[in-house]
């Protein structure tokens, strides 16, 4: 069974948007968005909430597998 990482989920949810678009929408830098998507860093709570809201999912399902 393959494990889906947070980064993979974030990349899939971003879809056709650019990392720059997502960064602008959630108030993060492009490099931070790319680090989240490459599983190099976990966003702070405020960014987690904004990402979940942007993608229309719960914070729990996105970051905690609930």
- Rounded to an integer, the average pLDDT of 21-44 is 97
Is pLDDT above 80 for 32? yes
39-65 confidence digits (pLDDT tens): 999 999 999 999 999 999 999 999 988
Q: What is the 3-state secondary structure (H, E, C) of the chain?
A: CCCCCHHHHHHHHHCCCCHHHHHHHHCCCHHHHHHHHCCCCCCCHHHHHHHHHHHCCCHHHHHCCC
């Amino acid at each position: 069974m393959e494990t889906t990482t947070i980064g993979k989920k974030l990349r899939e949810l971003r879809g056709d948007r650019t990392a720059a678009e997502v960064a602008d929408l959630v108030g993060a830098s492009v490099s931070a968005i790319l680090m989240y998507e490459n599983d190099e860093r976990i966003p702070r709570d405020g960014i987690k909430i904004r990402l979940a809201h942007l993608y229309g999912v719960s914070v729990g399902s996105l970051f905690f597998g609930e």
